[in-house]
Amino acid sequence: MASDLRPGGRTGQGRTVPAVRFAERVRDGTSFRRDQLGFLQWAVRTHGDVLRFRVFGLPMIMLNHPEDIYRVLVENRANYDKDALLYRLVRPVLRDGLIGSPGGEPWQRQRRLMQPLFRPAVVARFAATMTDETTRMLDRWERDHPRGAVVDVHRDFGELALRIVNRSLFSARVGDAARDFAAAFTEANDILGRFFTFPFPPLSVPTPAHRRLRRAIDRMDAFIASFVRRRAAEPSDEPDLLGLLMEAADERDGSRMAAEQLHHEVLNLVVGAYETTTNALSWIFWLLASHPEEARRLTEEADRALGGRVPGFDDMARTPYARWVVEETLRMYSPAWQFMRRAKGPDTIRGYRVPARAHIYLNSYVLHRHPDLWDDPDSFVPERFSPERSQGRHRHAYMPFGGGERICIGQHFALTELHLVLLTIARRYRFTLPPGRPPVRPEPLITLHPRGGVPLEVWPR
């Protein structure tokens, strides 16, 4: 593969993509492994919007222009699949679920089956779960924390996001059993997170950590299997995604999902939903605590729209500022900050040659700070998402949920959750930064974490 990317490679047409050379990295003192975000920003500043470099020894072509991203994700999508490093690494865990499925007919069938469950009208059924779990968290805060106490909200938001996705999947009756599932999931997620910073040896090698991962996956599988059995025997009175998944029938041939596939999809939904929403919530409240004027505007909007009520699904349309806060946070700290594709055959992008089997690297953290696309990109300005200011923006200049046919299936679910959790909290609490602490920095793991958590002073209003 490496030889295909060198000048004179056999496939594709056009010029060779400019490479980040080892010598210039040394000269400028930057490296992907030491400081990924710094390295990537330096690389596009130095080489422009199409460039290549190596990740764990594997050559990548990075695209940082909306037109080129559109080419890969939409216009010439048939030429690109997800049989790429990032997803190969997690296949032993996610198996045949949507996230890491390479593509083609098996993915299309699954997506067809599952897409209807994530329409806004269906997501609306889970609004009460989202606000109810948030209210419980706030009640615990009220009980456990004196006014102005410093709380690591990141930890609590992790628990909240997991409760919301578990209850949406398995209904409230899952009760205490969900705790065991959550514990196994958290353990698997931690091991996987560490693995991603240095993905050697492969997960198939039975190191002690990989054996623990295997056991955690077995526990999750057993939980899902027992819940599916129970769920089939006695239907739930609260709507849940598991029931909808079990009933989902392919519009083409009426067939349902096989039991094993169902397991994989449930796991993929929890993995897709958990860390991404946790991180998004943490960044939202850290940004608000750092920007009192924007926080005040949000609180005023929430008070005006809700008049003291717990928000419902319909309140989202009445609270545009809250939506802009969510969107601006996802611009600045896009939790799913990088993704990849693999070229099946050769292509030409911006006059550059893309050989068959090349890895394509897309990074929303860098794209969302492109100075040609965003005014003052390092500043938190929710109004930039107002309809007036959004006019004329390229569709692929903003892609916290990816783009094209593999766009996040849970995006309405996530946007609803973030919006409603934000309103529910803003009604009852405000936040300030504990004095003397340095700003929270992003840590690029599988998702973009706030390094060291998000300690904030929490004040009941």
Helix (H, G, I), strand (E, B) or coil at 347: strand
Tell me whether residue 157 or residue 339 sits nearer to ligand HEM (CB atom): 339
Helix (H, G, I), strand (E, B) or coil at 320: helix
Of all residues in the shown chain, the one whose CB is closest to ligand HEM is: 410
Scanning residues 214 to 243, which ones bind ligand HEM (CB under 6 A)? none
d(CA 275, CA 414) in angstroms, rounded, equals 11
Tell me the closest approach of the beta carbon of residue 388 to ligand HEM, in angstroms. 25
User: CB under 6 A: which stretch of 127-135, 333-341, 347-355, 369-377 binds ligand HEM?
Assistant: 333-341
Tell me whether residue 281 or residue 295 sits nearer to ligand HEM (CB atom): 281
User: CB under 6 A: which stretch of 41-49, 210-218, 253-261, 404-412 binds ligand HEM?
Assistant: 404-412
Tell me the closest approach of the beta carbon of residue 91 to ligand HEM, in angstroms. 13
Tell me whether residue 125 or residue 210 sits nearer to ligand HEM (CB atom): 125
d(CA 117, CA 249) in angstroms, rounded, equals 11
Degrees, nearest 5: CA angle 267-271-275:
160
DSSP calls for 86-143: HHHHHHHHHTTSTTT---HHHHHHHHHHHGGGGSHHHHGGGHHHHHHHHHHHHHHHHH
Tell me the closest approach of the beta carbon of residue 111 to ligand HEM, in angstroms. 5
- How many CB atoms within 10 Å of residue 355? 22
User: CB under 6 A: which stretch of 17-25, 27-35, 210-218, 394-402 binds ligand HEM?
Assistant: 394-402
The yes or no reply on residue 281 touching ligand HEM (CB under 6 A) is no
Tell me whether residue 74 or residue 172 sits nearer to ligand HEM (CB atom): 74
User: Which of 17, 203, 228, 273 touches ligand HEM by CB under 6 A?
Assistant: 273
Tell me whether residue 12 or residue 100 sits nearer to ligand HEM (CB atom): 100
Task: Report residue 32 CA to chain centroid gap.
Answer: 21
- How many CB atoms within 10 Å of residue 369? 18
d(CA 213, CA 184) in angstroms, rounded, equals 9
What DSSP element (H or E) covers 60? strand 58-63
User: CB under 6 A: which stretch of 23-31, 183-191, 228-236, 397-405 binds ligand HEM?
Assistant: 397-405
User: Which of 272, 311, 382, 444 touches ligand HEM by CB under 6 A?
Assistant: 272
Tell me whether residue 42 or residue 398 sits nearer to ligand HEM (CB atom): 398
3-state helix, strand, coil in the chain (%, to 5): 55, 10, 30
Half-sphere exposure of 4 (CA within 13 A, CB side): 19
User: Which of 117, 336, 354, 448 touches ligand HEM by CB under 6 A?
Assistant: 336
User: Which of 12, 311, 410, 450 touches ligand HEM by CB under 6 A?
Assistant: 410
x/- track of binding to ligand HEM for residues 81-110 (CB under 6 A)? -----------------xx-----------
The yes or no reply on residue 185 touching ligand HEM (CB under 6 A) is no
The yes or no reply on residue 268 touching ligand HEM (CB under 6 A) is yes
Tell me whether residue 30 or residue 276 sits nearer to ligand HEM (CB atom): 276
Tell me whether residue 30 or residue 101 sits nearer to ligand HEM (CB atom): 101
Tell me whether residue 406 or residue 427 sits nearer to ligand HEM (CB atom): 406
Contact 131, 426 (CB under 8 A): no
- State the residue for tokens 């080129």: 68
Q: What is the DSSP letter of 173?
A: G
- How many CB atoms within 10 Å of residue 44? 20
The yes or no reply on residue 369 touching ligand HEM (CB under 6 A) is no
The yes or no reply on residue 414 touching ligand HEM (CB under 6 A) is yes
Residue whose C-alpha is closest to residue 216's, from 271, 164, 260, 261? 271
d(CA 221, CA 396) in angstroms, rounded, equals 37
Tell me whether residue 43 or residue 266 sits nearer to ligand HEM (CB atom): 266
What DSSP element (H or E) covers 457? strand 455-460
d(CA 405, CA 424) in angstroms, rounded, equals 32
User: CB under 6 A: which stretch of 57-65, 274-282, 284-292, 423-431 binds ligand HEM?
Assistant: 274-282
Rounded alpha-carbon distances, angstroms, from residue 160 to 47, 156, 316: 42, 6, 20
Tell me the closest approach of the beta carbon of residue 350 to ligand HEM, in angstroms. 21
* Site for ligand HEM, rule CB under 6 A: 98-99, 111, 268-269, 272-273, 276-277, 280, 335-336, 339, 400-402, 406, 408-410, 413-414
